[in-house]
Structure 1
């Protein structure tokens, strides 16, 4: 049983990657992350099952880290239609194992950052029910709503801003918005 009252919870997650035949002549194989195994032992590309040309591997066991400061991101993940763990992989260029599985996260914000970079492959894998319950309990214990505080301008430093002379904090000899003058040639 995992202690969800701790500031940081680390859960070992095994990542299942499926290799299936490609659908085009340019890609011989299609590799996808299809599942996670909470509490899995360490493994490196251990074959789990084979059905014809389709093979599933326990590619790697990584740690899913839950931090108390990221509960808003976990709640965003849990509120989605299908709560998912993001499996982040990098292309290796090798033919036998073209993907390096290097991170798993339950944070919707962190997975979005990796998707935005475009350098990694991000697969969303449905969370098992037990993992959903654990993440929800962690959020119940640690999440605190932050009140929105509207920032107010410092009026003392903005005096004279409406005079058309530009920023009063910057020293200038004349109006910054004036049209440049033409120099006359002799």
Structure 2
């Protein structure tokens, strides 16, 4: 299955807690293409407690089997990238996954251990993704299965009977088992 790997850098925003009982929140801010040469887990900006961090680089994989999903993303008003992070401390957090597949991104958001954010897709990445879809997308026509008509006379040939015999019922086997 053809694939294309694109290396991206990830920026995140860390906001201070709203109350003294809360925690600071880390949220993905943007992806950078190409990946910058900066060291991972570098604080770039501190503006009155709101910090911008460069978390590091991660590969974005485009798979030929998912081109229909990428096309759905590209046809939306604003194509996006889903970024999944683990950990709320930007100095130690991990970039778990980057995806351009909106359905995979939705699935990632169900994991309570991850911070999943949606960021705009850079124009250069949009062009690469569109080219990948153009080269590898194969439209699969929908085929509805036809059911075969059931014949009640064939029940004996299909398997178990519709009505259980007295010996097949739970009450008949109670007391004869290994754990009784």
TM-score range, shorter chain: 0.7 to 0.9
SS for the counterpart of 1:146 is coil
Among candidates 29, 36, 52, match of residue 31 of structure 2: 36
Q: Could you list the runs of 5+ residues in structure 1 that have no partner in the other structure? A: 1-5, 181-186
Distance in 2, matches of 1:60 and 1:72, equals 29
Native 8 Å contact 1:12 1:64 kept in 2? yes
Distance in 2, matches of 1:116 and 1:76, equals 21
Among candidates 126, 133, 138, match of residue 132 of structure 1: 126
1:41-93 deviation per Cα after TM superposition (whole angstroms, max 9, x unaligned):
4642012223232221110200011111110111121122221100011236x
Alignment-derived partner of residue 163 in structure 2? 175
1:142-172 deviation per Cα after TM superposition (whole angstroms, max 9, x unaligned):
11211111111234xx321xx7x97862333
Superposition TM-score, scaled by structure 2 size:
0.79
Distance in 2, matches of 1:96 and 1:111, equals 21
| Structure 1 segment 59-74 matched on structure 2, within 5 A | 59-74=55-70
Q: Could you list the runs of 5+ residues in structure 2 that have no partner in the other structure? A: 170-180
SS for the counterpart of 1:44 is coil
| Structure 1 segment 32-181 matched on structure 2, within 5 A | 32-41=27-36, 43-91=39-87, 97=91, 99-155=93-149, 158-160=150-152, 169-172=158-161, 175=163
Q: How far 1:96 moved relative to its partner?
A: 6.2
Shift in CA distance, 27/99, structure 1 to aligned 2, threshold 3 Å: farther
RMSD over equivalenced CA pairs, Å: 3.0
Q: How far 1:98 moved relative to its partner?
A: 6.6
1:18-48 deviation per Cα after TM superposition (whole angstroms, max 9, x unaligned):
1121212222422111011112146420122
